[in-house]
């Protein structure tokens, strides 16, 4: 790809995503100020950490937006080096990382904060799957060749996914598997493979839930939250109370009550409920509309770009963002069991914010190779 023919980045995509970041900063402060004060910290403690993560993430986003991803399909050495580094970091997290809320997901970096390798593996999984599908596209025409190649791709992703699942982080594992399956589907894999793979993965996921007491408890509390309103069902019920309190227009920024220690994780996984209470249905629909707008721009980029590898990467990156958003919103609205997955760009968590901005930067890079909208 000749560098001087690349176009400017998709500015609308930048606007929609940074609007979500700005919304997140406002409601992180609203949802976390009292919690921070109770812990004898400044009311802006969580906001300050998120601003730092946002600054780092935007710098990485801008850098990645200038990188040409097309050569990676023919020279994938950078992908493999990143793969082995992240697998090593996932092993370090699992065996040496601190245990926080029953999970090993972070590597402490002293006063700088922490590193969550599973977040960084999400965009890498898309790039590996896309490169694999394009490199072996001749195999997808025959059943004899297709299955071994897809099994090889599954083997490449198996180890990091097993490490992420062992942390445990079922939500991130599900997200990566779903999005990579979509990349494989869009990449031209035979349809019969999905008729076999989807039931098999469904059975495997069911087994993981049934054989894990805490996962089974999450599903049970999702189905019958009122059976244990002060225990397993507390979070789901309080989230619905927050949504109900908001009505059409909300109670006003800062006026929500559920964040006052009624709703656990109000500034992280359940920040959408705080937005619902304080900004009402109008606010929640506005947030949803911004994610739909990102999907629209991302699909447009994928449709217009000519390179097959970049096309698959674009769809994968935008699906990572939008599917994760829908998963989080479903949990907040009690449409799905709690998976402990944040709302992209909005929930508190510098690692999650940086990972979302990395996906955005890679998508912006591809937008420079796409035709005008």
What's the chain's average pLDDT? 90
49-61 confidence digits (pLDDT tens): 999 999 999 999 9
| 63 pLDDT above the threshold of 70 | yes
| DSSP codes of every residue in 218-268 | HHHHHH-GGGSTTTTTHHHHHHHHHHHHHTTT-S-TT--STTTTTSTTTTT
Query: Residues near 232 by Cβ (< 8 Å), separated by ≥ 6?
Result: 217, 218, 220, 221, 225
Local structure of 25: helix, strand or coil: helix
Instruction: Provide the pLDDT for residue 373.
Output: 58
- Res. 85 pLDDT band, cuts 50 70 90: very high
List the end-to-end C-alpha distance of the chain, in Å, as a whole number. 20
Residue appearing with tokens 């990395």? 358
Residue appearing with tokens 């059976």? 227
Instruction: Provide the pLDDT for residue 372.
Output: 58
| 4 pLDDT above the threshold of 60 | no
**pTM, entire model:** 0.93
β-partners of residue 107 are 115
Count of C-beta atoms within a 10 Å radius of residue 76: 17
Q: Are 266 and 274 a contacting pair, CB within 8 Å? A: yes
| 273 pLDDT above the threshold of 90 | yes
The rounded distance, in Å, linking the Cα atoms of 224 and 314 is 39
The rounded distance, in Å, linking the Cα atoms of 59 and 62 is 5
Query: Residue ranges per domain, the chain?
Result: 3-367
């Amino acid at each position: 790809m000749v560098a001087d023919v690349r176009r400017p980045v998709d500015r609308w995509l930048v606007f929609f995503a940074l609007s979500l970041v700005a919304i997140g900063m406002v409601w992180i402060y609203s949802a976390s100020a009292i919690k921070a004060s109770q812990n004898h910290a400044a009311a802006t403690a969580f906001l300050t950490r998120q601003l730092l993560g946002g600054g780092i993430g935007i710098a990485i986003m801008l850098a990645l937006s200038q990188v040409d991803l097309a050569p990676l399909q023919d020279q994938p050495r950078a992908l493999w080096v990143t793969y082995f580094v992240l697998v090593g970091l996932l092993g370090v997290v699992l065996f040496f990382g601190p245990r926080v809320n029953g999970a090993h997901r972070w590597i402490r970096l002293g006063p700088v904060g922490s590193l969550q390798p599973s977040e960084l593996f999400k965009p890498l999984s898309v790039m590996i799957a896309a490169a694999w599908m394009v490199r072996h596209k001749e195999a997808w025409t025959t059943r004899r060749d297709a299955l071994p190649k897809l099994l090889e791709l599954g083997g490449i992703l198996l180890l990091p996914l097993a490490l992420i699942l062992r942390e445990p982080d079922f939500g991130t594992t599900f997200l990566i598997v779903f999005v990579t399956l979509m990349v494989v589907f869009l990449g031209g894999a035979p349809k019969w493979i999905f008729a076999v793979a989807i039931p098999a993965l469904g059975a495997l996921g069911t087994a993981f839930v049934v054989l894990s007491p805490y996962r089974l408890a999450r599903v049970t509390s999702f189905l019958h939250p009122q059976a244990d309103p002060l225990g397993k069902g507390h979070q789901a019920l309080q989230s619905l109370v927050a949504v109900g309190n908001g009505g059409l227009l909300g109670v006003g920024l800062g006026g929500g009550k559920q964040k006052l220690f009624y709703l656990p994780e109000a500034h992280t996984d359940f920040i959408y409920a705080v937005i619902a209470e304080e900004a009402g249905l109008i606010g929640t629909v506005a947030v949803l509309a911004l994610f739909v707008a990102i999907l629209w721009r991302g699909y447009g980029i994928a449709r217009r770009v000519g390179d097959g590898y970049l096309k698959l990467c674009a769809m994968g990156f935008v699906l990572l963002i939008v599917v994760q958003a829908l998963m989080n919103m479903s949990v907040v609205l009690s449409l799905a069991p709690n998976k402990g997955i944040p709302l992209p760009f909005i929930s508190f968590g510098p690692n999650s914010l940086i990972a979302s901005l990395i996906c955005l930067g890679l998508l912006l890079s591809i937008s420079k190779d796409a035709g005008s909208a």
